[in-house]
Structure 1
């Protein structure tokens, strides 16, 4: 299994919090501008879980939390996640 994704950067030009919804989230109005800057994310089966990304502390890495969550609920295979930031 190999998955490659592109995560496009956006600039938030405006954000207005409108009201709190019944599901406890807030309804927002946002104006986003997509810019020509992308991060690249790759996931593939591996012998052990690995997260390769420069500049992010191990303890603060949300990818570690996402991988743990996914393996608790959906997948049993070790995954290697590579992130190339631009």
Structure 2
């Protein structure tokens, strides 16, 4: 099962991406969501996300900094920036 993490400060964006993934890949993907970069780093570290769909501009910690921190810990994680 593919572990996908959606990180976006806009609730509607997170929900829409989650809906698309769950409809198209109901048995192939498990999805979690983060509302900011800091939370994304926490979830990715603890849960071990395979793929992260990440917004670049988020309050607190932006997506680029979050990506750096995640890739330092889990270099095999794939990232797609959604802006």
More strand per residue: 1 or 2? 1
Give the TM-score of the pair, scaled to structure 1: 0.29
Query: Under a length normalisation based on structure 2, what TM-score does the superposition of the two structures give?
Result: 0.30
Return the index of the structure with the highest Cα Rg.
1
Q: Which has the higher helix share?
A: 2
